[in-house]
Chain A
Amino acid sequence: MTNPLAIYFHWPFCQSKCPYCDFNSHVWREIDQRAWRRALISELDFYAMQTQGRTVRSVYFGGGTPSLMPTKTVKALIEAIHNRWGLAACEEITLEANPSSSETLKFKALKEIGINRLSIGVQALNDDALTFLGRAHSSKEALEAIDRAANTFDKFSFDLMYGLPNQSIGSWRSALRRALSIANGHLSLYELTIEPGTEFFKHNIKGVTDKESANMFEMTRAMMADAGMPAYEVSNHAKPGHESRHNLNYWRGGDYLGIGPGAHGRITISNQCIATHQIHNPVRWLKKVSLIGHGTAKHRNLSPYERALELIMTGLRTREGIDMAYLEILTGLTRNRLINPSRLSHCIEAGFLKNSGNILTATEVGIIRLNSVLETLLVADTQYAGGATVETGQ
């Protein structure tokens, strides 16, 4: 089978650690760039052996802060993909960038080596908020980065956060208005969530109240739709044609390789989907890769029901929803075995879900409560059988 492929690279380093961040990101004084370049290529090779002949549709450099990667490394990785699979069918190569001036200066070089989409971690457009969020850049740098991205790339996106403590819906509205005036075709708008293990969590920082959070979410979606950049996923908004292909692939249940410490992947080989997970800790990952060529901590066969679960979970987050016919083909299970029909009709009657033909989508009122809807829809059934786990490494 020749499913198309997406490739994700994880670069786990940042200039400083943001107090809300629970990603696999670390601040290192020294990085052995040569060793890291080699290791990433080596792991890419390891997965290339298992996916020869596939078509790579998108590549994504995430992190951490991949804009801190030496351009040489990015280039080497893109070339490696070109050599292993070819890049003719690759529509999108995204790199996440932080807007500090040194990184902004690299935009042009990045474009030259093949990056065609940028995702900028702006997070806020005023300095107070940026300070609160512990970001290393100023609002001026953010605007410059956006400006330069607009002049360099056809497609770029930037991230903003809302629901910061004491933020009013009015101030968020005006921030969003400003963002729209400088956006290109894509915005990722996230509500601040306090994750365990972060500085914010430790200091018991609380975002806005549940009510304000709901109001902001609804307002955001309405405003973005009016501006011609409707949400195509819970937190992602784009003009038609500007959607992130790479991310859509996740939500549609496509295959992807996860390269680098802590990266996750899904690879389907002769109809069996395998979930892969690389060693989380960067030191251990690097050591393992230099030893055996890859740093896989775990790979595990997903059962058809698990596959379905993932797809329903992510698919309902998107505007396009899930194609139940496709889901049936993919899993070999009938839709009634995947979703309890009485629970489904219950959610439809209540207005949380919508069914037209084979397509199941979450409505506006459904999306905002999607976790509860999913719980109602999926959790009560115990037909899920689990998959065999094969542990390697570590």
Chain B
Amino acid sequence: MINGPSMNTDKKTDLCRIRNFAIIAHIDHGKSTLADRMIQTCGGLTEREMKQQVLDSMEIERERGITIKAQTVRLEFKAADGEIYILNLMDTPGHVDFTYEVSRSLAACEGSLLVVDATQGVEAQTLANVYLAIDNDHEIVPVLNKIDLPAAEPDRIKQQIEEVVGIDTDGAMQISAKTGRGVNAVLQRLVESLPAPTGNANAELKALLVDSWYDPYLGVMILVRVRDGILRKGMKVRMMATGAVYQIERVGYFTPKKMIVEQLNPGEMGFVTAAIKNVADTSVGDTITEEKRPARTPLAGFKPSVPVVFCGLFPTDTGQYDDLRDSLEKLHLNDASFHYEAESSAALGLGFRCGFLGLLHLEIIQERLEREFDLDLITTAPSVIYRIHMRSGDRRELHNPVDMPDPTEIEYIEEPWIKATVMVPDEFLGAVLQLCEERRGKQTELTYVGHRAMAVYRLPLNEVVFDFYDRLKSISRGYASFDYELEDYTSSELVKVSILVNEEPVEALSFIVHEKHAEPRGRIICEKLKGLIPRQLFKIAIQAAIGGKIIARATVGAMRKDVTAKCYGGDITRKKKLLEKQKRGKKRMRQFGNVEIPQTAFLAALKTSD
């Protein structure tokens, strides 16, 4: 969609005719579709250039129909007063893993357009995002979307928004992002209700570094929001946090096509490029100022994103290790929010330990690696960061169960707890509460709004990174929504469960779990492996153990009969070929004691393991 940049003659716009806003909503409530209609209404793209969710440009976004990366577009809207207004629209992702994208978008705007699906009502991320908007002192404009659908209940939902979210919905517009109904009116409302940005063009330059990514044609691109001063092409700028100095090469904005301009003025948003080699050299939230006339204090900025879920990624074919490393490097250029470092495992060979913002993030990176880079990967069980307090007084952060120190040296272990908000129709509440209790949850709040309940729980994150989300969806038939934020670290009775095959530990399968759940989880894995490992000459013992103590076991009985009935002249060649084929297959086998286990068994154990 975005081809080479075009030039635009600079027109300076009065601050009072600029509006900056983020579109926020729960997943699938129609943010990206609404952005489409706005772009169309303002003529940002021609009919021919338009397609659905045009801002979701990544292949994986288009395929899954979700937004992963926030996008910014500059629109020109002719308002009722006959004036042209510049609207900077930021489309944000709805999924909880990408809350970080929402936060930094909000920091760049003065207002939020809250979209609520009129057939679904308030969901967990509706709430979470509204709170974020409030934290940013945003003016919030609520709209009810999808009213073209027969199931839409705008009046009921309006009332729900007032009750649950606590914002006034008197003038909330009813729109359809699909048909375009009401979109013009929303744009008009934004012009009227949102405050214009403030800023001083003569002051020292202060521009917020909102985002950065790698563009194959232009190199590293930086998304900025200018607060004070003017950001010009050719200007020497300094990144206030990192201290790095660059000369600005290009200045521009998206319509969503790239438009090149000479400068960005206060209140405006756009991109700049400089000869920056690595995305990692830019730190989002940093303040960009002019090198020769620097600002005295930086902008507030925001905290960097931190990965919360970790897992190992290994190539199925050990020969693909180098490819995996190169691919991770490339992907990292575009998504600095995941971390990776080399790791080696007896069962799985060489690979990487990676950190992600959440399970969906993990899944997306894994899928992009497999698809865009044609790799075949094994993903180990996801884990969180534990804090190990040693008897020696040391404190360690544990990202990988493999690195668990000897239990006798450990004073205590802390694990991360989250505040989880679940919104669910009444009828499924019982099942949801039971799930939360099973996962060691502690209820902190339970409120009813009409036929929906909102349950707030304190939950250990490690109980959530397994299959919590899937289970929640299945027990509520898809009706429950879920949001969480990290709360604190609390000490727990945690143990490391090792899985042994013929007495040898398979580190890739080890996991950390609450003592109470160790035995059932261990048993499940043993049984699963039992079903996955083919019978062999020798009996195979599969055990789950905590330290030296066996807590569960299963046995794969020895093969009783395995002999070819006929082997005459012509069969010899055939049989030999079979042996040779097995020999090739051996490359994918892992040796444990005297048995060889196909790597695929581990793969399957990890795939389905909860």
Contacts and interface: CB of A to CB of B under 8 A. Distances in A.
7 contacts: A263-B570, A265-B569, A313-B576, A369-B558, A372-B536, A378-B583, A380-B583
Nearest to B575: A313
Nearest to B560: A214
Interface string B562-591: 111111111011011001101100100000
Contact of B564 (A234, A264, A346, A380): A234
A314 B572 contact: yes
B203 to A, nearest CB: 72
Contacts of B604: none
A290 B537 CA distance: 50
A382 B583 contact: yes
Interface of chain B: mostly helix, strand, loop or mixed? loop
A191 to B, nearest CB: 5
B560 A379 contact: no
A350 B558 CA distance: 12
A73 interface: no
Given A8-B569, A258-B569, A369 B562 contact: yes
Contact of A214 (B561, B564, B576, B579): B561
A235 B563 CA distance: 10
Given A193-B566, A235-B565, A370-B564, 17 more contacts: A8-B569, A210-B560, A210-B561, A217-B563, A262-B570, A309-B576, A310-B572, A313-B567, A313-B572, A352-B537, A367-B563, A368-B560, A368-B563, A369-B537, A369-B561, A369-B563, A378-B579
B564 A256 contact: no
A253 to B, nearest CB: 9
Contacts of B538: 350
Interface residues of A, number: 48
B563 A371 contact: yes
A131 interface: no
A320 interface: no
B46 interface: no
Contacts of A306: 576
A143 B594 CA distance: 50
A310 B537 contact: no
A391 interface: no
A191 B575 contact: no
A255 to B, nearest CB: 11
Contact of B565 (A191, A247, A256, A314): A191
A213 interface: yes
A234 B561 contact: no
B561 A250 contact: no
The interface size bin for chain B is: 20 to 34
Given A250-B569, A275-B573, A277-B573, A313 B561 contact: no
B536 to A, nearest CB: 6
Contacts of A376: 537
From B576, B579, B582, name the one whose CB has the most chain A CB atoms within 10 angstroms: B579
Interface string A309-326: 110011001000000000
B559 interface: yes
Interface string B538-570: 100000000000000000001111111111111
Interface in A249-280: 250-251, 256, 258, 262-266, 275, 277
A182 to B, nearest CB: 22
A379 B568 contact: no
A350 B580 CA distance: 24
Given A190-B565, A210-B560, A373 B570 contact: no
8 A-B pairs with the lowest CB-CB distances in the bound complex, closest first: A214-B561, A214-B560, A370-B563, A264-B570, A372-B537, A371-B562, A190-B565, A379-B583
A374 interface: yes
Interface string A360-394: 00000001111111111011101010000000000
A29 interface: no
B531 to A, nearest CB: 15
